[in-house]
């Protein structure tokens, strides 16, 4: 009887988490639509007529914009880093990146509507697996190829811990992220910083209960070491890199800039809500597709955050 009740409790808890996380997709989509309206007020339709950063010009040079959006393993743990923003939207013990990826997918594949003068490019993509493609013909003509990856196999962290299928998925996502740094025009990581141990694509290491063992990540620094290794092994660094994670300016900016001095790097100074990380990633994509340069590029990126000054754009 006790085992039956325990099993029922686990099932009910899992179902509650699933129902609440399903609502996350709708919440994220609402954030994206809000971002879309704000971007219409800051996108400069004449930006393409002026001189632009070399990195953005080079991204368009071959007529194909190659972009990777990579969502790290976004566990909701008992640490403050995981509970920025409105914690009522999240469930302890879950992983939010599958829902974030689904919301981005839905947003990219929606039908395009809006002003002819300043249309959004974040729509009308064709999806095939993790790849999204479309052709843009406004400021600059190009074929856009987006690869969208996430890390968690399921939205329940306990199901992912010590799971071989999860380990394979994490390893594949990490490998594709590292490869993208050498081959893509824009690479955006959206996830945990792990106090300097990220970017991270694996279920968290816990110290006790639901508390992440940040000491482990600070000692090993596996994520950033692998990232720097990938950047140091090529002379063809991604022209634009986003490290959208908590306090990524202080934790990662200096070391990344040493290895990729010619890249535009976007980082955050403070704790960074996941509610804002995802829209900022999409704002980066829209800014590139709209061929935004200089101040217009910066304004576009800062549209998705409550505190615009928390974002750094290193050139």
**In tens digits, what is the pLDDT along the chain, a chain of 315 residues?**
333 333 323 333 444 344 444 578 888 999 999 999 999 888 888 876 777 889 999 999 999 999 999 999 999 987 766 655 555 678 889 999 999 999 999 999 999 976 565 678 999 999 999 999 999 986 788 999 999 999 999 999 999 999 999 999 999 999 999 999 999 999 999 999 999 999 999 999 999 888 899 999 999 999 999 999 999 998 788 899 999 999 999 999 999 999 999 999 999 999 888 989 999 999 999 999 999 999 999 999 999 888 888 999 999
Contact (CB, 8 A) for 78 and 92: yes
Q: At what angle do helices 294-302 and 2-42 cross, to 10 degrees?
A: 150
The model scores a pTM over 0.85: yes
Query: How far, CA to CA in Å, does 243 sit from each of 30, 151, 190, 220, 225?
Result: 23, 16, 7, 19, 14
Contact (CB, 8 A) for 93 and 203: no
Q: Which residues of 70-104 are buried (b: 16+ CB within 10 A; e: fewer)?
A: bbbbbbbbebebbebbeeebbbebbbbbbbbbbbb
């Amino acid at each position: 009887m006790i085992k039956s009740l325990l099993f029922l409790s686990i099932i009910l808890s899992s179902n509650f988490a699933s129902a609440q996380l399903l609502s996350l997709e709708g919440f994220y989509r609402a954030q994206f639509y809000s971002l879309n309206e704000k971007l219409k007020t800051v996108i400069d339709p004449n930006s393409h007529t002026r001189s632009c950063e070399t990195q953005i010009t080079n991204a368009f040079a071959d007529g194909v914009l190659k972009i990777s959006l990579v969502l790290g393993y976004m566990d909701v743990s008992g640490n403050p880093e995981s509970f920025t923003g409105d914690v009522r939207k999240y469930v302890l013990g879950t992983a939010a990146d599958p829902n974030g990826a689904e919301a981005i997918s839905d947003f990219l594949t929606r039908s395009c509507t809006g002003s002819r003068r300043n249309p959004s490019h974040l729509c009308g993509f064709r999806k095939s697996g993790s790849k999204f493609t479309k052709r843009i013909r406004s400021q600059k003509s190009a074929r856009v190829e987006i690869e969208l990856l996430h890390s968690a196999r399921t939205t329940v962290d306990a199901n992912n811990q010590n799971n071989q299928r999860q380990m394979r998925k994490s390893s594949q996502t990490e490998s594709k992220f590292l490869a993208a740094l050498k081959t893509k025009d824009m690479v955006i990581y959206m996830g945990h910083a792990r106090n300097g141990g990220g970017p991270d694509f694996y279920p968290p290491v816990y110290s006790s209960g639901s508390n992440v063992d940040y000491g482990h990540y600070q000692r090993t620094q596996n994520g950033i070491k692998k990232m720097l290794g990938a950047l140091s092994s090529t002379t063809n660094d991604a022209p634009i890199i986003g490290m959208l994670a908590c306090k990524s300016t202080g934790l990662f900016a200096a070391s990344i800039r040493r290895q990729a001095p010619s890249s535009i790097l976007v980082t955050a100074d403070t704790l960074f809500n996941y509610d804002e990380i995802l829209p900022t990633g999409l704002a980066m994509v829209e800014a590139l597709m709209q061929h935004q340069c200089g101040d217009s590029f910066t304004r576009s990126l800062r549209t998705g955050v409550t505190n615009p000054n928390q974002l750094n754009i290193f050139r």
